[in-house]
Amino acid sequence: MDDLEERQQRHPSLSKQAKSSPVPVDSNSVTQRLQKELMALMMSGDTGVSAFPKGESIFTWIATIEGGKGTVYEGLSYKLSLHFPLDYPFNPPQVKFESRCFHPNVDRLGNICVDILQDKWSAAYDCRTILLSIQSLLGGSIVYLSDAEPNIDSSLNSSAAELWSNQEDFRRMVHKQYAVGDACEN
């Protein structure tokens, strides 16, 4: 059994993103919805979140989330990828940190365990909702749809979960991992 299969057994919600919807979807309507979401995000004026399609495909986006002021992530900028399924919004996009992120609910491959991307997904959510929820998971100032506190009992990163109670040590590790990830990307 590989690492991904093992994590999916411990966190069954991680595999939800791969399931397809029984509802037939017109890819033209999905494209139109994603274009509207992109415009809404660009016009929202939300601080510290942005996203744009990667290349020509409206189904793959690159996003940026800034760490919130007064948090251990302050001053850090994270790149994420969003892959929207053809049956979006009936199923959530696959969202992954492309930058190294040390957090109890983010594994070393960048997979994220946040309820609105799994069992609490609703077709009413949009890209803005997703990004603000992930930003709040990183201790952002706005608690959006996800809990601002990580789920320590069901963490993807046990090292981060163990350090969480000592915020000074946790902050040092966040910055160390960020620096290592930054060096690997350059």
Q: In the beta sheet, which residues pair with residue 50? A: 64
113 assigned to active site = yes
Whole-angstrom distance, CA of residue 16 vs CA of residue 110: 16
Active site residue: 101, 113, 127, 184, which one?
Answer: 113
Copy the structure tokens of residue 39. Answer: 């415009």
Coil, helix or strand at residue 51: strand
As a dihedral over the C-alpha atoms of residue 35, residue 37, residue 42, residue 46, rounded to 10 degrees, the angle is: -170
148 closest CA partner among 73, 47, 41 = 73
Q: Catalytic residues, which ones?
A: 113
